[in-house]
Structure 1
Amino acid sequence: MDGSRLFLFGQSISLLGDGLAVLAIPLLVLQLTGSPVLSALAAAPRVIGYLIAGLPAGPLVDRADPWRVLIAADAVRMAVFLLLAAAVAVSGCPVTVILGLACVAGAAGVFFETALTVAVRDLYTGPRLMRANGFLETSGQLSLVLGPATVGVLMAAAGQEAALLANAGTFAVSLVTVWRTYRRLPVAEFAGTTTTVGAKRPVVLGAGVLGSVGAEFWSGLRYLVTSPSVASITLLQAVTSLGLGAETLIPFFARERLDASAVLVGLAVAGGGIGGALGALIAAAAGPRWSPVPMCLTGVLLMAVGLALVGLAPGVLCLALANALLAGASMVVVVVVRTLRQQVVPRPLLGRVTSAARSFVLAASAVGTMLTGLLTRLCGDNPRPVFLGAAVFVAVSTALVWAGVLGRTARRLDVFDRSNQCAPISS
């Protein structure tokens, strides 16, 4: 198995670990405390991790060798789940310790995701870059379906400890594959700086990445705002995330308006996971042959259609299919935007620009979630008008972004993408 395939294999296993953690930690807290409130809080460490590590992750990844950040983050997450397995074996472990360890794993995950963006750019060029991003997003979507199911099987067959040890094992596999890939990479030149990715040579960073973490984060934010190409695709992603806040209403809609059972509610939600995986696969397969901006706009318009179909769904099956379309179109946009950002942003700035963009998009998503909840309450707990309004909002705001910013930079992005298609492909 060559280095690039080994790397993708390791990341698919790592993403499965993320999917396992979605259910493993809340179930552990529920088992130890019996409290549904504390169990719900156990699902929060990932969000808390972004709040803690979102600002410093980008600058620190840019300062350091991102491949070593990946290795360190995997080691931390592996250690956390080994300690959690030990906590199960030791009765009376305080739940605060478990939640604290989960927050550490969440923060390590933020560093990992930021460094992964840079590492993928190091490893793949040309058409392979979008294919790699599509593969990773597909694996991430499938992990959200397979991870919780795997936890359930492991707990039934061998107990909570087995599920936590399996989670630790996924990060161990990722660590080994990242390390082996890292050892094979040559010295590479990026935008006037020398970044050494061989294990026996020191890392030399350009002077532009030195300074305080806060100042470096703001420099990434300043680049994001002042670069027309990056600003336009980030604004488009933020706008769609604002509208996608309505997506969180799907379980409520299925339960309260369609009178669905718990199993059917799960079916409606699972449609999104399956659709997301298919959308990422489509982006990976078709992306290298399509111009990125038209592909991105097509994805956004299909998202608007998906939101409208969700609002008009007469039953759970139609809701599941509409959710699949919505999630699939969303994944197409995510893969295209991530690939464009990796291609356009100078490599020494990629970590901090990525973390700044992600913070911006997450903030828009949080605002969208709160607004859609409030609007649903104002509509008498009827989410149908909210879904339809979100569809109109996404379509109209996308047209405004195109007219105001994206239309002027579309040709530049397409030309840049074509030049990258002709770039030599790394092994």
Structure 2
Amino acid sequence: MTGMVRVFRRSAAAPKMPPAFARLWTAATVSALGDGAYAAALPLFAVALSKDPVVISLVSVAMVLPHLVVGLVAGALVDRWDRRRTMWVADLWQAALLALAVVAGAVGALGIPELLVLAFLLGVGELFFDVASQAYLPDLLGRDQTLLRRANGRLRGASTAAGQFAGPPVGSFLFALARTVPFLADAVSFVASALLIRTLPSTPVPERVEGRSVWADAREGFRYVVRDRLLLGLALRPAVGNLAFGAVGAVLVLFAQDTLGLSAVGYGFLLAADAVGGLLGAMVVAGPLEKLLGTGTALTLTAVVEGASILVFGLADNPWLAGAMFALCGCGMATTMVLGWSLRQAIVPGRLMGRVAAASRLVSLSAGPLGALLGGWLASAAGLRTPYFAAAAVLLTMTVVTMSMTSNAKVKAALASAVDG
């Protein structure tokens, strides 16, 4: 099957997942558990070293900066390499970095500059893994649209349950024992994930034009996204969200401690509330909502839900209300991701999937660092609630701008064109 051929299986009987998907799902779950512990521990580690909101926000910037610096090149390389091998090598890369961080912490050599470098290099590994996995999944599932939606829901559900629900409280607890113990736990999870991924079946390396440079391949993927109104809209929706959530996340640990009065363990449970909503969105809400409203209208509704919940969160003094709003926001975000990823994987040619995934992530994540810096500045200048009000305003306003780009009519036309192609 060449990269330009797209196969869609539609029959009365529900298609079945291949046995290899269970191993991929297990690897994702194990890795997500370690990532959740690390995600809770990293900002707590930074806060232990500095209380400056701008400094704390720089850690968030460093984690997403690789997508801006090497994202397009990573997509082009993924489309040249064995995607399964890329995933397990990226896992081992991240495991080695975290092991070094544990050693540095043990000898007292892990400060803010070292945390920023660690966050950036881990982001590089995450970038290659995520792009390769998004390109690998359609090949594994034969580009079956039903299987893709189901698989993305399960993967997102596993990531949410392990990475956001179970992982953060574990990370907060381990951090209370010793600052670098969560890093060690994440390193072990990456090794386990790599071993599982090595057992997956290989897929053919996509065909490419001989003699063409990596950068030329990267530009082709970027042009494919920005010239397609639907794909651009699918990327711009999370871009607006990442601008808002970058501002929110950059000072979340400070807001939780200073405004809501939560301890380190309480902060972990606040992150877990987001995970509860995310699990419901990925596993329960996405499919029925799409059937009821259509993909385009469902994406618009989730954007409105996210904006409204962040506004109420920023107004909250009660941790229980804040947790409920975080859960609602997580539900909207997870639903958006499952529907958006599945649609993109169904309509993009296989030979371009790595580059399109990377270009889409570049567009969607490009606003994240700006949002993180803006959140830190707004918190310093006008108080810890201000980033939440600004984020809600951005989400609700930009929903109106992007809703026509991913309308039900455009989605239907793109799916029909993919089947005909």
- For 2:148, the aligned partner's letter is L
Give the aligned partner of residue 280 of structure 1: 282
Give the aligned partner of residue 349 of structure 2: 346
- Are 2:234 and 1:215 equivalent residues in the alignment? no
- Are 2:222 and 1:224 equivalent residues in the alignment? no
Q: For 1:265 and 1:238, how far apart are their aligned partners in 2?
A: 26
Task: Give the alignment's TM-score, normalised by structure 1.
Answer: 0.76
Give the aligned partner of residue 297 of structure 1: 300
Q: For 1:242 and 1:269, how far apart are their aligned partners in 2?
A: 19
Q: CA deviation at 1:127?
A: 1.8
Give the aligned partner of residue 61 of structure 1: 78
Q: Classify the secondary structure of the residue corresponding to 1:64.
A: coil
Which whole-Å deviations, capped at 9, do the CAs of 1:108-128 have from their partners, x for residues lacking one? 221111101111222233322
Task: Give the alignment's TM-score, normalised by structure 2.
Answer: 0.77
Q: For 2:311 and 2:41, how far apart are their aligned partners in 1?
A: 34
Give the aligned partner of residue 147 of structure 2: 128
Give the aligned partner of residue 144 of structure 1: 164
- Are 2:123 and 1:106 equivalent residues in the alignment? yes
Q: CA deviation at 1:71?
A: 2.0
Q: 1:218 to 1:22 in 2, by over 3 A?
A: same
- For 1:106, the aligned partner's letter is G
Give the aligned partner of residue 362 of structure 1: 365
How do 1:159-308 residues align onto structure 2 when only pairs under 5 Å count?
A: 164-182=183-201, 196=204, 203=205, 205-207=207-209, 211-245=212-246, 247-248=248-249, 260-262=261-263, 267-283=269-285, 286=288, 289=291, 291-308=294-311
Q: CA deviation at 1:165?
A: 4.7
Which whole-Å deviations, capped at 9, do the CAs of 1:331-385 have from their partners, x for residues lacking one? 211221111111122111111121122122112233344445556677x43736x
Q: 1:284 to 1:261 in 2, by over 3 A?
A: closer
Give the aligned partner of residue 33 of structure 2: 16
Which whole-Å deviations, capped at 9, do the CAs of 1:36-73 have from their partners, x for residues lacking one? 48996777653354355323211100111211111221
Which whole-Å deviations, capped at 9, do the CAs of 1:262-292 have from their partners, x for residues lacking one? 4666554443233223322235653674532
Q: For 2:244 and 2:43, how far apart are their aligned partners in 1?
A: 29
Q: For 2:371 and 2:104, how far apart are their aligned partners in 1?
A: 37
Matched residues, number: 393
Q: Classify the secondary structure of the residue corresponding to 1:207.
A: coil
Q: Which runs of 5+ in 2 are unaligned?
A: 1-17
1:383 to 356, 374, 385: 385
Give the aligned partner of residue 318 of structure 1: 321
Give the aligned partner of residue 192 of structure 1: none
Q: Classify the secondary structure of the residue corresponding to 2:199.
A: helix
Q: 1:145 to 1:44 in 2, by over 3 A?
A: farther
Q: 1:319 to 1:174 in 2, by over 3 A?
A: same
- For 1:173, the aligned partner's letter is A
Q: For 2:232 and 2:66, how far apart are their aligned partners in 1?
A: 25
Q: 1:390 to 1:29 in 2, by over 3 A?
A: closer
Q: Is the 8 A contact 1:304 1:392 kept in 2?
A: yes
Q: CA deviation at 1:181?
A: 1.4
- Are 2:405 and 1:400 equivalent residues in the alignment? no
- For 2:166, the aligned partner's letter is L
Q: For 1:230 and 1:113, how far apart are their aligned partners in 2?
A: 18
Q: For 1:309 and 1:156, how far apart are their aligned partners in 2?
A: 30
Q: CA deviation at 1:254?
A: 5.5
Q: 1:392 to 1:47 in 2, by over 3 A?
A: closer
Q: CA deviation at 1:138?
A: 2.5
Q: For 2:41 and 2:256, how far apart are their aligned partners in 1?
A: 26
Larger CA deviation: 320-329 vs 142-151: 142-151
Q: CA deviation at 1:393?
A: 4.2
Considering only aligned residues, what root-mean-square deviation do their CA atoms show, in Å?
3.9
Q: For 2:60 and 2:241, how far apart are their aligned partners in 1?
A: 24
Q: 1:83 to 1:334 in 2, by over 3 A?
A: same
Q: CA deviation at 1:93?
A: 6.4
Q: 1:303 to 1:69 in 2, by over 3 A?
A: same
- Are 2:99 and 1:79 equivalent residues in the alignment? no
Q: For 1:383 and 1:28, how far apart are their aligned partners in 2?
A: 23
Q: 1:55 to 1:180 in 2, by over 3 A?
A: same
Q: Is the 8 A contact 1:225 1:231 kept in 2?
A: yes
Q: 1:37 to 1:414 in 2, by over 3 A?
A: same
Q: 1:244 to 1:35 in 2, by over 3 A?
A: closer
Q: For 1:85 and 1:382, how far apart are their aligned partners in 2?
A: 32
Return the structure number with greater relative CO, CA threshold 8 A, min gap 6.
2
Q: Is the 8 A contact 2:302 2:336 kept in 1?
A: yes
Identity fraction in percent? 26
